[in-house]
């Protein structure tokens, strides 16, 4: 079978070896005769190991039964230990968003095991963990919402197995048994047996049909929907959490690199190679693709030497063949170039008769907005540890959001089969979109090359300076809005052209057949009833490499749209709250949400007004519909020393339903911080083809004294479950910008606001 887990074939009690997972083509419904297995390689003896496939969605299963495609197995990996604790291998990475805890809550709820006894780790790369329609991505705020039903069924199947084992052990009919957290209970006799004690027996029990397992009545949930404490708080408060940068193996060498100053250049002669080799601690110097590396037992030695390298950097023969950074690239000039673009672009969303609406409009207005390039600026600099093993396999430790994609890319570079590459995914020291597979944006190619060249395990760490030279950026866009108002001042027409390159087409370094959704999301997909609209993208390639950044296109597009919506309100003499309510008439979910945000703030009070401390303040509001959730935010601002102070953010979020309100509130706080950082202080600039900022001295991220008070209202409307990590972000920048405009009378059309001086 093709499973990655061939290596974890398990020794049953009788010594027979069995594979854990169904071979390709096996229909999930046939898994009922499969058995739970114990004692797999690396797993504590006597443990219950669940590895099984269950149907994710009935339509897909029916398709498989009809022979329309391969069976859709959804595996998971649970280990119940003799001490009645549990290890769960999560398909999703933990980077602070609380996913590991959410997985424990969902599985634990159905398994009947307290999430607090779970140890959760990131699953290795492997087809069996690709549970998102054959994919596996920690991104798009998808982890919990994409796997909620699957994880419940996995937990429930495990409970059913333990009940069967309990019936045998206690010698009573299954129907007389129930469970309490971590144990099977026979109420009639008062006897019970722990899951840990049953783990060895449970493997011999038949796996129930996934469709037949009984899920808990949600009204009886003990952990789902509750503010369960996150599992990693103590280890993260005591320095015990292990990130990729902390990983060590025997005989390890470490490496630092000097990247080509501009992407596309290649190293020629290292003019001072002999001198660098003679520097303290240096093991060796290596010329790599687009970089030169120094290897040493201690990273600081490698870093000192890499910084000292005097490299001849050569222009590429064919700049068009690579993502090439020209020597004259400057962000200000590039913004001007985008603004000068007059094309009408390609339509992404149209409705009604835009030309007619503008022709018959009583009033029209137009405005041009722009966004800035942004770094991810996750606090853990990227690193990768590569170790070639004697058996021809390769172990890789690296921060990643897509292990199977990295596995494939690594196998290709290393000349191995993917199954020979073992991907270890430690905790992420922040990610925000940083750890997708980005060409030229990840250190793994260096680690592979250096481990090969030295014949020893090598950990490459990119210094912060080298990271800011290769961190792919949130795109810059210039967006041209035209609005049409009727004689009463209400919006009737909207015409938008975003001059940009979307992150997806930037990452691919090629345009797709369809328009890039991630370029325009947040300008498209809005719910306001503006009958006539045309939203288009005028593609202009960006020289810097591009990336997904928390909330992706929405991170800037809602700023553009919601700010211009306030401009239309002002032009038509309407209050921005009243205008939004009118444009959302008949949309109960969003009307309720908007009112909830405003109520949370104590009622709509745009201002300007004088606060208790004597400062002049105003409020702004904005909405966003990112990643399956809905959000509305109110911001209160004042001006101090010419700069914007954000005092409070009140945010209401409707993700449909939730798993952990405390994690949701923490994520709203986090997204508010990143939204404020973007709108207030952040921007990655280039001059002469080089980044102006290479570290946090010149690249500002939100410092503690600029954080706002954050007030959160969670609304569970019962709509389809949406995301949580990203959705609270996009409404924040426009809420702030609208408040600033209300306060100062000056319209804010570019981020960050720190580049302007304000007066009230």
- Chain contacts with other proteins (rule: CB under 8 A): 95-98, 229-230, 232-243, 245-246, 248, 254, 280, 297-300, 377-381, 427-432, 461, 463-465, 662, 665-666, 668-674, 677, 695-697, 701-705, 707, 709-712
Q: Which sign, positive or negative, has the C-alpha torsion 60, 63, 65, 69?
A: negative
| Nearest partner of 423 among 392, 444, 440, judged by Cα | 444
Least distance in Å: CB of 259 to other proteins?
Answer: 16
Q: Which of 33, 25, 80 is nearest to 52 (CA)?
A: 33
Comparison of 297 and 316: residue with beta carbon closer to other proteins: 297
The CA distance from 648 to 340, in Å, is 37
Least distance CB 659 / other proteins (angstroms): 15
**CA 438 – CA 426 distance, rounded (Å):** 19
How near is the Cβ of 516 to other proteins at its closest, in Å?
26
Q: Give the integer Cα–Cα distance in Å for 524 and 189.
A: 63
Nearest approach, Cβ of residue 718 and other proteins (Å): 22
- Burial class for 328, CB neighbours closer than 10 Å (0-12, 13-18, 19+): exposed
- d(C-alpha 608, C-alpha 743), whole Å: 5
Residue nearer to other proteins on the CB measure, 280 or 745 = 280
Among residues 252 and 453, whose Cβ is nearest to other proteins? Answer: 252
423 and 385 Cβ atoms separated by less than 8 Å: no
Instruction: Count the Cβ atoms, other than its own, within 10 Å of residue 613.
Output: 8
Tell me how far, at minimum, the Cβ of 629 lies from other proteins, in Å. 17
In angstroms, the Cα distances linking 213 to 152, 155, 164, 208, 719 are 10, 10, 13, 7, 25
Comparing CB distances to other proteins, the nearer of 244 and 354 is 244
Task: Burial-class residue 222 by CB neighbours within 10 Å (0-12, 13-18, 19+).
Answer: middle
Q: Give the nearer residue to other proteins in terms of CB position, either 241 or 437.
A: 241
Q: How many CB atoms within 10 Å of residue 254? A: 25
Nearest residue (CB) to other proteins, 469 versus 484: 469
Kindly state the smallest distance separating residue 443's Cβ from other proteins, in Å.
14
Tell me how far, at minimum, the Cβ of 670 lies from other proteins, in Å: 4
Q: If we measure between CA atoms, which residue out of 358, 370, 361, 357 comes closest to residue 563?
A: 370
How far is it, in rounded angstroms, from Cα 89 to Cα 42? 13
CB nearer to other proteins: pick between 118 and 564: 118
**Of the candidates 412, 547, 460, which has an alpha carbon nearest to the alpha carbon of residue 259?**
460
Residue 239 CB, nearest approach to other proteins (Å): 2
Please give the Cα distance from 629 to 183 (Å, whole number): 37
In terms of Cα–Cα distance, which of 537, 514, 753, 518 is closest to 645?
Answer: 753
CA distance 446 to 258: 11
Min dist. Cβ of residue 186 to other proteins (A)? 37
Closest approach of Cβ 244 to other proteins, in Å? Answer: 11
Distance CA 200, CA 82 (A): 9
CB-nearer residue toward other proteins: 81 or 711: 711
Please give the radius of gyration of the chain, using alpha carbons only, rounded to the nearest integer.
Answer: 28
Cα 111–chain centre separation: 28
How far, in whole angstroms, is CA 431 from its chain's centroid?
Answer: 7
**Residue placing its CB nearer to other proteins in the complex, 672 or 679:** 672
Q: Which residue's CB is nearer to other proteins, number 236 or number 640?
A: 236
- Measured from the CB of residue 227, what is the shortest distance to other proteins in angstroms? 9
Angle made by CA atoms 156, 54, 158, in degrees to the nearest 5: 25
Q: How far is the CB of 238 from other proteins (least distance, A)?
A: 6
Least distance in Å: CB of 326 to other proteins?
28
Closer residue to other proteins (CB): 61 or 676: 676
- Contact between residue 654 and residue 630 where contact means Cβ atoms under 8 Å apart: yes
Closest distance of CB 681 from other proteins, Å: 12
Q: How far is the CB of 122 from other proteins (least distance, A)?
A: 14
CB count, 10 Å around CB of 68? 9
Tell me which DSSP letter residue 319 carries.
Answer: G
Helix 554-571 and helix 732-744, axial crossing angle in degrees, nearest 10: 30
Nearer to other proteins, 367 or 693 (CB): 693
What is the closest distance, in whole angstroms, from the C-beta atom of residue 569 to other proteins in the complex? Answer: 30
Nearest distance from residue 208's CB to other proteins, in Å? 36
Token pair listed for 721: 């479950």
Pairing status of strand 253-259 against strand 266-270: unpaired
Structure tokens, 587: 């949309």
Closest separation between CB of residue 92 and other proteins, Å? 14
Residue (44 or 241) nearer to other proteins, CB: 241
- The C-alpha atoms of residue 695 and residue 689 are separated, in whole angstroms, by 17
Q: Identify the CA nearest to 398 among candidates 354, 358, 445, 346.
A: 445
- Would you say 156 or 673 has its CB closer to other proteins? 673
Three-state DSSP state, 414: helix
Characterize 158-170 residue by residue with b for buried, 16 or more Cβ atoms within 10 angstroms of its Cβ, and e for exposed: bbbbbbbbbbebb
> DSSP label at 167?
H
Question: How many angstroms separate the CA atoms of 687 and 143, rounded?
Answer: 39
Distance between CA atoms of residues 103 and 147, nearest Å: 9
Tokens standing for residue 215 = 């899920």
Helical residues (DSSP H) of 432-553, grouped into ranges: 444-454, 464-470, 503-508, 517-520
């Amino acid at each position: 079978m093709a499973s990655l887990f061939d290596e974890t074939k398990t020794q049953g009690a009788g010594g027979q070896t069995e594979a854990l997972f169904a071979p390709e083509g096996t229909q999930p419904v046939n898994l009922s005769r499969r058995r739970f297995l114990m004692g797999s390689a690396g797993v504590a003896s006597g443990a219950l190991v669940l590895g099984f496939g269950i149907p994710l969605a009935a339509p897909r299963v029916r398709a498989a039964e009809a022979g329309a495609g391969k069976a859709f197995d959804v595996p998971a990996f649970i280990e119940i230990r003799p001490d009645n604790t549990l290890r769960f291998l999560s398909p999703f990475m933990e980077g602070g968003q609380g996913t590991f805890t959410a997985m424990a809550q969902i599985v634990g709820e159905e398994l009947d095991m307290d999430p607090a006894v779970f140890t959760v780790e990131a699953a290795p790369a492997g087809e069996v963990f690709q549970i998102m329609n054959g994919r596996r991505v920690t991104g798009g705020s998808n982890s919990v919402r994409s796997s909620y039903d699957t994880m419940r069924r996995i937990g429930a199947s495990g409970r059913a197995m333990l009940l069967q084992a309990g019936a045998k052990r206690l010698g009573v009919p299954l129907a007389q048994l129930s469970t309490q957290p971590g144990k099977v209970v026979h109420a009639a006799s008062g006897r019970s047996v722990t899951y840990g004690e049953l783990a060895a027996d449970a493997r011999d029990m038949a796996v129930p049909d996934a469709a037949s397992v009984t899920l808990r009545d949600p009204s009886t949930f003990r952990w789902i929907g509750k503010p369960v404490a996150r599992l990693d708080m103590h280890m993260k408060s005591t320095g015990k959490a292990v990130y990729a940068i902390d990983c060590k193996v025997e005989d390890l060498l470490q490496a630092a690199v000097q990247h080509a100053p501009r992407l596309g250049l290649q190293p020629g002669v290292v003019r001072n190679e002999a001198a660098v080799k003679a520097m303290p601690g240096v093991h060796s110097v290596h010329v790599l693709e687009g970089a030169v590396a120094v290897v040493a037992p201690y990273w600081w030695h490698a870093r000192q030497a890499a910084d000292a390298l005097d490299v001849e950097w050569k222009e590429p023969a064919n700049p068009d063949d690579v993502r090439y950074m020209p020597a004259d690239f400057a962000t200000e000039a590039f913004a001007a170039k985008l603004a000068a673009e007059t094309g009408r672009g390609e339509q992404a969303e149209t409705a009604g008769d835009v030309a007619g609406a503008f022709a018959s409009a009583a009033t029209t207005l137009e405005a041009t907005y722009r966004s800035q390039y942004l770094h991810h600026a996750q606090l853990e600099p990227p690193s990768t540890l590569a170790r070639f093993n004697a058996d021809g396999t390769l172990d890789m430790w690296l921060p990643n959001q897509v292990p199977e994609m990295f596995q494939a890319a690594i196998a290709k570079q290393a000349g191995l089969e993917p199954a020979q590459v073992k991907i270890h995914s430690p905790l992420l020291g922040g990610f925000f979109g940083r750890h997708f597979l980005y060409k030229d944006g990840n250190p793994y190619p260096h680690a592979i090359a250096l481990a090969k060249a030295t014949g020893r395990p090598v950990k490459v760490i990119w210094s912060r300076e080298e990271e800011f030279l290769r961190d792919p950026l949130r795109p810059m866009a210039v967006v041209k809005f035209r609005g049409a108002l009727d004689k009463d001042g209400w919006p009737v027409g909207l015409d938008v052209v975003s001059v940009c390159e979307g992150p997806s087409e930037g990452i691919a370094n090629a345009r797709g057949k369809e328009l890039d959704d991630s370029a325009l999301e947040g300008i498209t997909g809005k719910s306001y009833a503006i009958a006539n609209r045309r939203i288009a993208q005028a593609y202009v390639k960006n020289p810097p490499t591009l990336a997904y950044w928390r909330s992706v296109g929405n991170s800037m597009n809602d700023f553009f749209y919601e700010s211009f919506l306030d401009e239309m309100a002002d032009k038509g003499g309407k209050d921005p709250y009243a205008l939004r309510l009118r444009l959302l008439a008949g949309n109960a979910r969003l009307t309720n949400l908007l009112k909830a945000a405003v109520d949370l703030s104590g009622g709509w009070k745009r201002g300007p007004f004088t606060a208790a401390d004597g400062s002049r303040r105003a409020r702004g509001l904005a909405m966003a519909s990112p990643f399956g959730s809905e959000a509305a935010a109110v911001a209160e601002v004042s001006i101090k020393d010419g700069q914007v102070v954000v005092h409070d953010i009140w945010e209401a979020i409707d993700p449909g339903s939730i798993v952990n309100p405390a994690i949701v509130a923490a994520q709203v706080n986090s997204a508010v911080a990143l939204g404020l950082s973007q709108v207030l202080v952040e921007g990655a600039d280039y001059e002469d083809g080089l980044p102006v900022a290479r570290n946090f001295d010149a690249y500002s991220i939100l410092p503690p004294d600029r954080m706002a008070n954050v007030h959160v209202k969670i609304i569970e409307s019962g709509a389809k479950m949406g995301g949580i990590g990203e959705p609270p972000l996009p409404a924040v920048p426009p809420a702030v910008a609208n408040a600033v405009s209300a306060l100062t009378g000056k319209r804010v059309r570019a981020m960050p606001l720190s580049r302007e001086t304000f007066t009230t």
